[in-house]
């Protein structure tokens, strides 16, 4: 039959062609015939689908009309129907077009196997995406075939699906199954792509695409702000108003009622001893509303040190009540916590250990009206405040205009705490308990113990001495540190940073923080400082050279098997922080670029480049922060955003949880064997996005807090790493 033409259509990019030239000039369209039916009596065949990358503004394009004889192209007032003289049209289109011209369909299941940092990379970063075939674990039902070594991949622009980069994949360990993840993995390296923009990765073998990501130098900045604002949501004793909290607000102050924090009673050994004390302020510790002085050591230290490592990253524009006061908002938040620590201090310099309640509750913060109590002073709480207040005195010395006299107050309180410690030179109380107990039930704190022992107490005293020496330069603090830094009493689970010869990402963390402070102090003993930096270098090099450079972990964020435990994401931050501490102390200067690269890879893991493709930060997608984290966790365990809340519980709630909380992370030691996942999974897949506590049908708690609960210390350690890589 003759070849009719289609002419006079208004936009040549869409359709001005004959059957010998059916491809638009942009090559952005493909047409598929409906071969389930033959041509109709007039010789026309229905067009089943027309796929296009980009239509001109206002163009309707082809409209599929199932069950009708014709499909039309609408352009202006012109409507044409295409005669389907069989496959000539289709074959010509196929011959002139390439698979790369057709945008792949987004499928969440396969997108989770083409794995990227869902926020993205900085322009000059090492950029490696991952393709993973799940062999072991609950996601092995996904149909995805590992590409062969050398198979092609593409990085495409989100704007028009054009190809920005083409490369070939490298199979990790020749296609072996990784034990920690249960996956076979390919790496797709596109480090040479430096053009800022929004992209996705395309795997032609599986016709699968990733979640979107960006390349730009300030790609982390808004994430830092969002994750930092979680401390505002954790504030105790004040309202979280809609002006600052947005959809996640409570207009009334929490825990400010009768028998609560402004006049809490002392609880000891099952008895209310009265003695009202103002213990208001500070942050709720985690998903619960208790407050623990000992747990603030690592929290506040990492926030302060994170600021010191890159002050320019932390602005005065986080939209908290103090924004615009000339002080970086991270320091305003730190002050909010330090003010509470000073409330916990007694006139003699000692510091009370905890604030909590006697019964577990699931309620919005301002609806938790039960009586609250504090516990007696302890040496381990006192040394915590001595060190943190000393560090804070250094920081706030530069912000006297906004907070006049505050640095001097902090220094005085730190020195007062040390004076009490000198008078109480061993673990106090000797039992290592503050008398508040745990377990709730109306007779003990419904809270963690926050107890101690002689070794923990010694580590905290060393920390206090190091911080006071750095702040004051006074010889007595240096003398104490020099006499105790190598003491066997500091040993933690068989590890000592000096006698073991290396820094470790898990045990001895407080001791190692003390040593980092000391080694960075003018006037430190050079022999001791060299021993510290040598041990730090050994610990860093073991991981950087032995794990990262050796490609030990296909997900490029190595961690020991046993570290996939309760709070594993916090340990990821530990592993990332150590090489940054090495840069800070100028350890092995020739390897600093590699140290930074290694540290940043742990961020990519937390941001989605992990075996489950979870962004481990809450509600970062369109429902919440809208920062590009399209597969975030949505149900972490938290009293405010609790299970069953119509406003805040999960993807089907009105708002979802407040954005930016870092979930606890995979826990291979989760104890309830028939909740799968997280039970019975490879270590890195021992995770479930859920927040169930008591399950009446089961007659027991589901213990979701052991997997998903956020905490201020996990959040702080993550921020200390994230802030390092932010660009002003």
Helix (H, G, I), strand (E, B) or coil at 60: coil
Which pLDDT value is given to residue 555? 99
Query: For residue 253, what are its two tokens?
Result: 């102050």
What is the C-alpha to C-alpha distance for residues 227 and 297, in angstroms, rounded to an integer? 19
Q: Is 49:32 a contact under the CB 8 Å cutoff? A: yes
Pick the CATH number of 108-217 from 3.90.1640.10, 3.40.50.300, 3.40.50.10440, 2.60.40.10: 2.60.40.10
Which pLDDT value is given to residue 101? 53
Query: For residue 648, what are its two tokens?
Result: 């805040």
pTM > 0.75? yes
Which pLDDT value is given to residue 620? 98
Structure confidence by residue, pLDDT tens digits, 165-199: 999 999 999 999 999 999 999 999 999 999 999 99
Q: Is 214:119 a contact under the CB 8 Å cutoff? A: yes
Which pLDDT value is given to residue 526? 99
What is the C-alpha to C-alpha distance for residues 162 and 199, in angstroms, rounded to an integer? 10
What is the C-alpha to C-alpha distance for residues 19 and 452, in angstroms, rounded to an integer? 82
Q: List, in order, residues 6 or more apart from 362 with CB less than 8 Å away.
A: 639, 642, 643, 693
Strands (DSSP E) found in 281-368: 291-292, 351-352, 354-356
Spans of all domains in the chain: 5-98, 108-217, 222-484, 556-728
Q: List, in order, residues 6 or more apart from 550 with CB less than 8 Å away.
A: none
Question: CA of 411: how far to CAs of 113, 416, 430, 467, 469, in Å?
Answer: 52, 9, 28, 11, 11
For 222-484, CATH gives 1.50.10.10
Structure confidence by residue, pLDDT tens digits, 200-244: 999 999 999 999 999 999 999 999 999 999 999 999 999 999 999
**Whether the domain at 222-484 and the domain at 556-728 fall into the same CATH topology:** yes
> What is the residue whose two structure tokens read 């201090």?
345
Question: CA of 119: how far to CAs of 187, 218, 569, 604, in Å?
Answer: 18, 11, 18, 9
Give me the residues of the chain with pLDDT under 70, please: 1-102
Q: Which residues of 669-694 are buried (b: 16+ CB within 10 A; e: fewer)?
A: ebebeebebbbebbbbbbbbbbbbbe
Q: Is the dihedral of CA 33, 34, 36, 39 positive or negative?
A: negative
Which pLDDT value is given to residue 728? 83
Specify the CATH architecture of the domain 556-728: Alpha/alpha barrel (1.50)
């Amino acid at each position: 039959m003759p070849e009719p033409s289609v002419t006079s259509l208004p936009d040549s990019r869409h359709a001005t062609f004959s059957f010998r030239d059916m491809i638009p000039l942009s090559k952005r369209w493909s047409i598929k015939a409906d071969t389930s039916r033959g041509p109709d009596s007039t010789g026309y065949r229905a067009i089943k689908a027309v796929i296009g990358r980009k239509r001109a503004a206002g163009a309707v394009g082809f409209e599929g009309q199932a069950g009708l004889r014709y499909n039309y192209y609408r352009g202006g007032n012109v409507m044409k129907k295409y005669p389907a003289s069989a496959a000539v049209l289709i074959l010509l289109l196929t011959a002139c077009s390439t698979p790369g011209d057709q945008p792949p369909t987004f499928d969440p299941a396969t997108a989770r196997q083409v794995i990227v940092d869902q926020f993205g990379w900085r322009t000059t970063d090492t950029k490696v995406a991952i393709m993973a075939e799940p062999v072991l674990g609950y996601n092995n039902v996904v149909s995805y075939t590992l590409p062969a070594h050398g198979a092609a991949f593409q990085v495409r622009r989100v704007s028009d699906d054009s190809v920005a980069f083409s490369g070939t994949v490298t199979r990790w360990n020749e296609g072996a199954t990784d034990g920690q993840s249960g996956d076979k993995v390919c790496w797709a390296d596109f480090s040479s792509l430096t053009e800022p923009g929004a992209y996705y990765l395309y795997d032609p073998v599986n016709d699968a695409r990733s979640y979107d990501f960006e390349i730009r130098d300030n790609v982390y900045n808004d994430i830092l702000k969002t994750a930092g604002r979680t401390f505002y949501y954790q504030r105790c004793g004040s309202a979280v108003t809609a002006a600052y909290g947005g959809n996640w607000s409570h207009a009334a102050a929490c825990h400010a009622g009768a028998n609560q924090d402004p006049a809490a009673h002392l609880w000891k050994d099952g008895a209310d001893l009265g003695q009202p004390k103002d213990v208001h302020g500070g942050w709720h510790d985690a998903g619960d509303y208790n407050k623990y002085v000992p747990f603030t050591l690592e929290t506040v230290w990492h926030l302060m040190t994170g600021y010191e490592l890159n002050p320019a990253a932390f602005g005065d524009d986080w939209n908290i009540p103090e924004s615009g006061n000339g002080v970086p908002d991270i320091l305003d938040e730190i002050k909010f916590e330090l003010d509470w620590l000073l409330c916990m201090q007694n006139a003699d310099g000692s510091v009370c250990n905890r604030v909590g309640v006697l019964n577990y509750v699931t309620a919005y913060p301002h609806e938790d009206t039960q009586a609250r109590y504090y516990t007696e002073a302890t040496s381990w709480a006192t040394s915590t405040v001595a060190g943190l207040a000393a560090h804070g005195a250094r920081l706030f010395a530069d912000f006297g205009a906004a907070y006049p006299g505050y640095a001097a107050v902090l220094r005085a309180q730190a020195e007062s705490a040390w004076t009490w410690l000198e008078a109480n030179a061993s673990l106090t109380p000797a039992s290592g308990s503050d008398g508040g107990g745990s377990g709730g039930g109306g007779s003990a704190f419904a809270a963690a113990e926050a107890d101690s022992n002689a070794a923990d107490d010694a580590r905290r005293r060393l920390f206090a001495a190091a911080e006071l020496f750095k702040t004051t330069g006074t010889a007595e603090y240096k003398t104490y540190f020099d006499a105790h830094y190598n003491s066997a009493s500091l040993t933690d689970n068989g590890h000592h940073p000096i006698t073991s010869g290396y820094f470790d990402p898990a045990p001895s963390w407080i001791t190692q923080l003390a040593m980092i402070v000391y080694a960075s102090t003018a006037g430190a003993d050079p022999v001791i400082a060299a021993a510290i930096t040598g041990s730090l270098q050994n610990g860093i090099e073991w991981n950087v050279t032995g794990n990262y450079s050796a490609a030990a972990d296909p997900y490029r964020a190595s961690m020991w098997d046993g570290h996939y435990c309760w709070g594993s994401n916090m340990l990821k931050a530990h592993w990332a922080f150590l090489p940054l501490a090495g840069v800070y102390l100028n350890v092995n200067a020739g390897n600093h670029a590699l140290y930074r690269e290694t540290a940043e890879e742990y961020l990519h893991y937390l941001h989605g480049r992990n075996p489950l493709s979870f962004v481990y930060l809450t509600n970062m997608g369109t429902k919440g922060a809208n920062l590009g984290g399209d597969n975030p966790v949505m149900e972490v365990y938290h009293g405010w955003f609790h299970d069953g809340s119509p406003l805040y519980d999960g993807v089907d709630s009105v708002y979802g949880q407040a954005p930016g909380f870092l979930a606890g992370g995979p826990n291979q030691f989760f104890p309830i064997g028939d909740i799968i996942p997280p039970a019975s999974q490879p270590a890195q897949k021992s995770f479930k996005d859920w927040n169930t506590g008591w399950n009446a049908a089961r007659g027991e708690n589901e213990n979701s807090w052991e997997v998903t609960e956020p905490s201020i210390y996990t959040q702080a350690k993550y921020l200390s790493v994230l802030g390092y890589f932010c660009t002003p």
